[in-house]
Amino acid sequence: MNEVFENNGLVTQLRNFYISNRKAILVVLALFIAILSFYLINNQLTKTSNEEAAKIYNQWLKTAE
């Protein structure tokens, strides 16, 4: 099916750009979401690990006294 491209207006130009580059835009968006998710999950796991390590260290200090 042929797409009819009108050259009047910013919305039409943006729509035409999206239609022409749909796969690339979706891949970049999915990659961005995946990287952001990995970063947030990694930070949460690190924070949890650090909190658990602090508890163990504090208990060790109390028993060492």
- The residue whose two tokens read 């650090």 is 50
Name the residue type at position 12.
T
Instruction: Inform me whether the pLDDT recorded for 7 exceeds 70.
Output: no
With a CB cutoff of 8 Å and minimum separation 6, the contacts of 60 are none
Round the average pLDDT of the chain to a whole number and report it. Answer: 89
Q: Report, in angstroms and rounded to the nearest whole number, the Rg of the chain calculated over CA atoms.
A: 25
The number of distinct structural domains making up the chain is 1
CA atoms within 13 A on the CB side of 44: 6
Identify the band that residue 6 occupies on the pLDDT scale cut at 50, 70 and 90.
low
The answer to whether residue 21 is domain-embedded is yes
Contact indicator for 8, 14 with CB cutoff of 8 Å: no
The answer to whether residue 5 is domain-embedded is no
The answer to whether residue 20 is domain-embedded is yes
Give the residue numbers spanning the domain of 57. 10-64
